[in-house]
Structure 1
Amino acid sequence: MAPETETDAAPNAAADDAEASSSDAAFGDESSAAQRTAVGVKLGSTRTVLSMGRDEERRVVKTLTCLATYEDALTGDERVLYGETAAAEYPDRVQYMLRSGLPEDDERAELTERFFAELLRSESVPEDSGVVYAIPTIDNEPGLENLGAVVEDSEIGSEGVRSYPESLCGAIPAMGDGLEAINDIFVSINLGSTNLEACAYRRGEQLAPWATGAVTGVGVDRAITGYVEEETQRRVTVDQQTAREYKEQHADFVDYEPFTDIVQQPGGGSHEFTIEWAVMDAVDEFVDAAVEAVADDFLPGVAQEHVRVYRRALDRPIVLTGGMACIPGLVEEFETRLSETLDREVTCVAPDDPELAAAEGAQRIAERLLEN
C-alpha cells in the first residue's frame, strides 16, 4: 500500500501546520490567493484530468493518457501528439504509458513526463499555481516516486505541490460542495481501470488502505473482446480499445439496448453484427467480483483493525469513484449486492461524474491550501 506521508495529511490540518513537505515548502506565500490558480491533477491509466480555476471560471480538461511521435515532413524534427488525436491518427504506434497505473520504470517515466509537459503547454496551465495531484493506493514505491517527479518537476506549481490519496480526492465531490469529506468517517472504493482500491477515512486519515489488480476495468475490456467473439460465433474479433468504447458507450444497468456495429472483412466487404449480451455479461461479472473482493478482503481488515470506525463507516454512505462508476445503474447494483452479501443494508453514492471527481477533489484541496 502507498505509505502514509506528510503529503497525505488532512488539508485542514496541513493548512494549520507551519511545516510543509519537501515538495511544497512555499505552498501559499505572501501573494494574494485570488491571483494564483488552484490545479487538481489526476494522471490516470486511461485518462488524465486537470481541474483548474475557481467557481464559475473553473475549467476541466480530460484526455486519453497516451502520446505518439512523428517526424515533421519539412524540418525533420520530432513532433509529439497526445490524447485522442494521437490515438486516432497513430493507432499503430500510440503509447499508453500508465497501463499499470504508474510509470514503473525510467522509460515510462520519461514518456509520462513528455505527455504531461505537452498537455500543460497545450492547455496553457499557469506556472503561478498551487497543485494537488491524486495518487493511487498501490504498493509500488518506485512508481509512486516517478509519478511524483513528473508532477513536481513540471513547470506548474510554483506555489507548491502536494499529493493526496485518489480515493479521498474522488470522494470529496460526492459528499458536499466543499471539503466536508475531510471531517467525516466513511469508506471510499475506487473502481478504476487498473486497480480496485478501497480505504476507510477518519477525518482525512487513511485507515486500512487496500488494493487489488484482480478486479479492474481493463479486465472488463478483455472479457468483452472474448464475449464478442463468442457471441458472433467467432465471425468478429475486436481489439481492447474497441471493447472499452463499447463499455463506455453502451453498458447500462438501467436501460441497456442491444447495438450493432460494422467491421471490414480481410478479403474485402463488411460485416454487420449485433451485440446482445457480451458487454453486460462482462460488466455484471465485474460487479460481482468487486463486491466479493470488498466484502471478503477489504472490510474484514477494517473491522479487525478499526472495529468502531468500521461500524460507523457502514452507517454512512460508501463512496464509489473511478471510471467504472460512470456506468448507469452500477452504483445501485453495487449497493444491492453488497447489502445482500453483508446481510445488512448499506448505502452507496457517487460523484456526479466519477471520472472527473479525483481531479475536482484535488483542486478543492489546492484552493484551501492557497487560502491558508
Structure 2
Amino acid sequence: MSDDSTEEPDEDTTEEPDEDTTEATEGAAVGVKLGSTRTVLKTDDTVDKMLTCLATYEDALTGEERILYGEEAAREYPDTVRYMLRSGLPEDDENAEAAAKFFQAVVEANDVPEASGVVYAVPTMENEAGIRNLESVIESAAIGDVFTRAYPESLCGAVPVFGGVEALDEIFLSINLGSTNLEACAFRRGEALAPYATGGVTGSEVDRRIVSYIEEETQGRVNVDLTTAREYKEEHANFDAFEPFTDVIQQPGGGAHEFTIEDSVMDACDEYLDEVVDAVANEFLPELANDYMKVYQIALDETIVLTGGMACIPGLVDEFERRLSDELQRDIKADAADRPDLAAAEGAHEIASQLLKHQS
C-alpha cells in the first residue's frame, strides 16, 4: 500500500538582522582635538570649535553647581575662568577633573550618542602622566561605547591634506604649530618616528611678544592684554599682504586713544617662523637622519604637512617652504589643510569612520 502522506518542508528559521541593532553596532564617528587654547569636536553632521576653558557658578534657585564653557565662560567669568590644558595636557588630577567636566558639557551640548566610535588626537610629546590624564578625560565621557582610540595629532592633521586615510599608508613629515608646543614627527605608514616637541617655540609666545612690541611701538602709551594680542594676530597677521591697522582704547582717566599698529604683529610672527625653521632644520631633522636615514631621504622629497592654529596665518605655509628650502639648500614642498585649526579633529573623525566600517 502506498503512503499518500506528504512531508511539510522544514520551516525556515533563519533570523533577519534587526535593523536597529545593526545601526547601533555601527555607531557614530566622532573626532576630538582637546587643545590648550581651543577644542574641536567633529561628528558626522557638525564641527564645534570653542575655547578650552571652564567656569562654574551656583544656581540662584537650587544652589546646584552649574557649568559654562568656551567663549561664554571666558566672557562672563573672566575672573574665575579656568584653562585646564595650559601645557597641552591635563598635568594633574585637579586639571583632569576640570577637563572631564568641560568635555562632558561639550558632548552633551552636541548630542553625541553613546553608541559612537571616538578617535582623539594626542600631542606627540613625552609626557606619560599627561597622556594618561587625557585618556581618562575622553573615556569618562558618556560616548565611545563602540571604541575609543588615540592617534598622534600631527598624523590626524595630515589626513585632510592627503584627502583621507591614505595618509596612514604614506611616508611624510608633519609639523604641528600649536599654541603651547612646536611638534614635529616623521610617519611611516602610520608609525611615528623620531617625535620632537619643544615648548620654546609657541603661538602663545607670539602673543606675549606682540604685547611687548606694541608697548614699544607706541612709546608706552598702549598696553594690551594677551587675549587682545591673540585677536590681533588671528585677524591681522598675513605673510602675503599685511596692512597696518587702527584700534581704540579707553584711557584710565576717561576719553579714548586711537593708535595704529604697523610692525608689532608681523615682527613677532617673523621671529616665530625663523625659530620654527631653525628648530626643524637643526634639531628635528638631524635626529631623524641619525636614526632613520632612509625615511629622512624619502620624506624630504615629499610634501611636509603643517597643522595647528599658527598655520592659519595667510602666507605662512609658503613662507615656511621658502625659508626651510634656503636653510637646507634644497627644494622643499609644504602644504596645509584648508582649515589647519580644524584638521586634527577632522582627520580623527575620518579615521573613526574608517574604523567603524572595518568593524561592521
Distance (Å, rounded) in 2 between the aligned partners of 1:36 and 1:76:
37
Q: Which residue of 1 aligns with 2:84?
A: 97
Q: TM-score scaled by structure 2? A: 0.92
| Structure 1 segment 1-372 matched on structure 2, within 5 A | 31-32=22-23, 36-53=27-44, 58-176=45-163, 178-372=164-358
Structure 2 residues without counterparts, runs of 5 or longer? 1-20
2:257 & 2:57 partners in 1: Cα distance?
33
Q: Deviations over 1:5-28 (max 9, x none)?
A: xxxxxxxxxxxxxxxxxxxxxxxx
State the SS of the aligned residue for 2:279. Answer: helix
Change (3 A) 1:34 1:255: farther
Instruction: Write the distance in 1 (CA, Å) between the matches of 2:95 and 2:37.
Output: 14
Q: Percent identity?
A: 64
Please give the per-residue CA displacement for 1:50-108, whole angstroms capped at 9, x wherever unaligned.
Answer: 1111xxxx311101100111222233322111001111111121111111100001111
- What is the CA deviation profile of residues 224-275 of structure 1, one whole-angstrom value per residue up to 9, with x for unaligned ones? 1101111111111111111111111110111111111111111122211111
2:306 is paired with a residue whose SS is strand
Name the aligned partner's letter for residue 311 of structure 1: Q
Q: Post-superposition shift, 1:34?
A: 8.5
Distance 2:235 2:24 in 1: 40
Contact persistence 1:36–1:128 (CA under 8 A):
yes
DSSP-derived class of the 2:22 partner: coil
- Which AA in structure 1 matches 2:307? T
Q: State the alpha-carbon separation in 2 of the partners of residues 94 and 270 from structure 1.
A: 28
User: What is the rounded CA distance, in whole Å, between the counterparts of 2:222 and 2:60 in structure 1?
Assistant: 37
Secondary structure of 2:298's counterpart equals helix
Aligned pairs, number: 338
Task: Judge conservation of contact 1:33–1:370 (CA < 8 Å) in 2.
Answer: no
AA partner of residue 202 (structure 1): R
Deviation at 1:168, TM superposition (A): 0.3
Alignment deviations for residues 20-44 of structure 1 (CA, whole Å, 9 cap, x no partner): xxxxxxxxxx834895210000000
Equivalents in 1 of 2:79, 2:266: separation in Å?
29
The answer as to whether partners of 1:172 and 1:361 remain within 8 angstroms in 2 is yes
2:38–2:50 contact (8 Å) kept in structure 1: yes
- Aligned counterpart, 2:8: none
- Match of 2:137, as an amino acid? V
8 A Cα contact 1:251 1:279, kept in partner: yes
Distance 1:264 1:111 in 2: 35
Q: Which letter maps to 2:195?
A: P
SS of residue in 2 equivalent to 1:40: strand
2:40 alignment partner AA? V
Bigger mean CA offset, 324-333 vs 67-76: 67-76
**Aligned residues of 2:24 and 2:115 also touching (Cα < 8 A):** no
Q: Is the 2:25–2:146 Cα contact (8 Å) retained in structure 1?
A: no
Question: What RMSD, in angstroms, separates the aligned Cα atoms of the two structures?
Answer: 1.2
Cα distance change on mapping 1:312 and 1:244 into 2, 3 Å: same
Using the alignment, how far apart are the partners of 1:262 and 1:80 within structure 2? 33
TM-score (norm 1): 0.89
